[in-house]
Amino acid sequence: MPENRNLYFLNFPADFLFMGGFSILLFFWMHYAVPDLPLASVMPAALFLQYALNYPHFSATLYRFYRSADNVRQLPMTGIVWPILIAIAVWAALLSPGLFASYFITLYLIWSPYHFSGQTVGLTMLYARRSGFFVGRLERLALSAFVFGTFFVLYSQAGVKARLITDPSVAASGESTYLGIPFINFTMPDWAFWASVAVTAAGGLTFLALTLKWALAHKKAPPLILYIPALAQLFWFVIGFETSVVTFYIFVSTFHSLQYLYVSWAVQLKEAHGDGKIGIKDIAGTTTLWSVMNLCGGIALFSLLPVAVIKIFDTPANLTLAVVFAAIQIHHFFVDGVIWHERHALAPQRTGMDFDRGSAADRRFQSCQFFRLWPDQQPHACGAGEPQPSGCRLCPAARADLRHGGFAACGRGGFRSAGGPVQDPEPVRNHP
C-alpha cells in the first residue's frame, strides 16, 4: 500500500521517531541492554540536550508569537497582560521565598505534566483527522481519559514531587525542593492510584476499540502513528517511573521538546515556502536560520535572563533560578495553548496544519472528515454551515459517518458541511 504522505509531516519513519518512537526505543535499550547505567554517565548528554532542544522549544513559542506586532494587537491578553502578571508574580516570589515562591513553583510543577498531556492529545487528534478517523465526543473523552490518566497515575504515587523524581537528592532525602526552594507537595490518598489506573486503562481500551470499530467499517487499518504520541506518554509517566529507570526519566522533557520542535519546524517550512515543492537548499536555509534563532533564544531565556535578574535585584542565585525558570515555563504553557488552539492568524489551520482547537464551535465540528466522492464526481467544496448539497454523492463509509455524527465534508478539498437531513445518494456501481 502506498504511503499516505498527507498523513505525515515528513514520512512515517521521521514522524514515528519524533512523535515518541525514539523515546520508546531508548527506554527498551536502557531497561534491558544497560540496566545498571549510572546516572552520572548520562548527565552530560541530558545537560547538552537541555540547551540543544528543551530551551529552544520555549524560544520557538516566543518567536512564533512575538515576531509580529499584529499578533500582540490581536491577542493583547496573551501578549501584554499575561507577561505583566508573570513579572508581578516573579517580583512577589523573590520578596517572599518561603511563601509565594513555594506556591509559584508548585503551580509550575503541576502545570508542566498537564501541559505535556495536552500536547499529546493535540498530536493524536491531528493524526486522527489526517487519517480520516471519526473524532466525536466519546472518542475525545476516551483519549483524554487515557492521556491525562497517566498524569494522575504518576502523581498519585509521588505527588507534585513526581516532576522532580529524577533528582537523586530529592528522591533520597524525601525533601520537596526545587533548586533548593521548597514547594507544596500535595499528595493523594492510597485509593487514587488504583482509580487512576482504572481510568487510564478504560480510556485506552475504549479509544483502541473505537479506532478498530472505525477500521472495520472502513475496511482499512488505522495508521500506527495514530497511537504513538499517547503510547510514548505511557512510557514517560508510567512505565519509566514504575520500572525506576531514572536514566530514562531525566530525558522526558527532552522527548516532549522534540515533538514540539518537529511540528514547529514543519509549520515554519510551510509558512516560509507554501505548499509547493521545497528544494534542499531552501530547507537547509530556513532550518538553519530558525534553529540558530531558537538556540540563541534559549540561552537568553535560561542563562542570560536569570543572571540579569541577580545582578539588578541582588537576589540569591538559587531563588532567582528557581523562580525565573518557573516563570518562563508558566508563560510558555499559557502562550503555547493560545497560539496552537485559538482561531487566529497564528493557528496552524491558517497554514494548512489541521491542529486541534479547543473552542466549543470547533468541538462541534470535530466529526468532520474528508471523504472520497464516487469516481464520477468532481470534488465539491461545501461551505461551513451550509446544508449538504443533494448533488454530493458520498461513499457508503462516508454516509455512515455522516449519520453518526451529523457532519461531513465533500471531496478531498472540501470543507465542513453542517445542517439538515442528508438524502442518500443513488447507488453507484464499481465503488473503489
DSSP 428: -
- Residue by residue, pLDDT tens for the chain (432 residues) are 345 558 999 899 999 999 999 999 999 999 999 998 888 899 899 999 999 999 999 999 999 999 888 889 988 999 999 999 999 999 999 999 988 999 999 999 889 989 999 999 999 999 998 888 878 899 999 999 999 999 899 888 766 555 554 443 344 444 577 888 888 877 778 888 899 999 999 999 999 999 999 999 988 899 999 999 999 999 999 998 888 788 898 899 999 999 999 999 999 998 888 766 778 888 999 999 999 999 999 999 999 999 999 999 999 999 999 999 999 999 999 998 888 764 444 444 443 444 433 333 333 333 333 333 323 333 333 333 333 434 444 444 444 444 443 333 333 333 333 333 333 333 333 333
DSSP 50: I
Question: What is the Cβ-side half-sphere exposure of residue 368, based on CA atoms within 13 angstroms?
Answer: 25
Q: Where are the alpha helices (DSSP H) in 314-395?
A: 317-341, 360-364
- Domain ranges in the chain are 5-359, 367-432
Pair 347, 399: CB distance under 8 Å: no
Residues 6+ apart with CB under 8 A from 369: 129, 132, 133, 134, 398, 401, 408, 409
Q: For the whole model, what pTM was predicted?
A: 0.77
Amino acid identity, residue 38? P
C-alpha to C-alpha distances, 124 to 5, 117, 315, 347, nearest whole angstrom: 17, 11, 43, 17
Alpha-carbon distance of 150 to 200, in angstroms, equals 6
DSSP 350: G
Measured between its terminal Cα atoms, the distance across the chain in Å is 14
Alpha-carbon distance of 54 to 61, in angstroms, equals 12
Give pairs for 429-432: CB < 8 Å, separation 24+. 430/375, 431/374, 431/375, 431/395, 431/396, 432/372, 432/375
